[in-house]
Amino acid sequence: MVLNGITAANKMPKISVTSTIGHILPKSILPFRGISDVRQEQIDAVNKKDSFTKTTQTFDFDKCYSEYYDADKINSVINDRIKEICAGNEAVPHVEKGIIEHFDKHHIQTTYEYAVMIGKGLKLNNEEMYKLEEAATLHDIGKTLIQDEILNKPFGLDPREREIINTHSELGYEILKGLGADKEALDVALNHHKDGAGGKLCDIVKIADRYSALTSVRPYKGAFTPKQAFEILDDEVKEGRIKGEYLQILKDALGFKDPEPTEKAVTA
């Protein structure tokens, strides 16, 4: 599994958009652009902004990331269940260092940051915050075992490909179980895409993960504006998929105000 992406140079001028916390991100990805180049732009923008604030004295995002997102360590814990899932995907369960180097760290960082905002709004204690930060950092580790041509596909996935990418939750659970992660991190890795599943920390990460994904560039889409993203998430609250209280905390933390309702004229 080598991260190939699309390597032909894009001759068109770059168009940028500023994210909700000041990150300068490409507006869209065209099939001529290299996926790894786009992701590096995202990572560089985050690092330049340096907007991440540690919430506990003991947690270190970069240390946690380097500790777990390590090719040798992931390969060392591949078990029979991981092999079984990958066999169904027609993939060999092995991670090369290049994949880790080009992994979508921007999404992990922003998911971490948004989760921290919600956790602070809920006034979680230090132990809960530490576990939340770790769980948010590790929630997508299973994607390191998903084939690159699916993970980085610049257009929509077909049903079979969607089924394959959905296995990243169980793959992440199995990886983290082998690496000795906390039960909260296991819960979040396994359940962050399942409606009605998981505990409190998982409910927080579900919203942080969704908002990060919606407002970030992906191989198959540009970034939604905060207004567009929150409209989608408001619908998910109505459907009972995410918690409205937690979503409101994120809106408040980002300074987002819902539009005032428009009063309809009353006819006599």
The reply to whether 172 falls in a domain is: yes
Q: Looking at the domain assignment, is residue 60 inside a domain?
A: yes
| Token pair recorded at residue 224 | 């939604």
Neighbours of 25 (CB within 10 A): 20
Looking at the domain assignment, is residue 263 inside a domain?
no
In a domain, 264, yes or no: no
Which is nearest to 55 in space by CA: 133, 139, 162? 133
Tell me, what's the pLDDT at 263? Answer: 54
Could you tell me the two tokens for 236? 């998910």
Examine residue 268 and state whether it is found in any structural domain, yes or no. Answer: no
Max alpha carbon distance in the chain (Å)?
74
Half-sphere exposure for 6 (CA within 13 Å, toward CB): 19
Asked if the structure places residue 118 within a domain, the reply is yes
pLDDT of residue 55: 52
Q: Is residue 262 part of a domain?
A: no
Kindly give the parts of the chain with pLDDT less than 70. Answer: 1-57, 260-268
DSSP annotation of 18 reads E
The CATH number assigned to the domain holding 97 equals 1.10.3210
Give me the domain span that covers residue 186. 16-253
Domain count, the chain: 1
Helix axes 105-121, 126-138, angle to 10 degrees: 160
φ, ψ of residue 245 to 5 degrees: the values are -60, -45
Contacts with 248 (C-beta within 8 Å, 6 or more apart), sequence order: none
pLDDT at position 98 is: 84
> How far, CA to CA in Å, does 179 sit from each of 68, 95, 101, 202?
8, 15, 19, 19
Q: What is the phi/psi pair of residue 207, to 5°?
A: -70, -45
Predicted pLDDT at 262 = 54
Identify whether 267 is part of a domain: no
> Tell me, what's the pLDDT at 13?
34
- Other beta carbons within 10 angstroms of residue 230's beta carbon come to 23
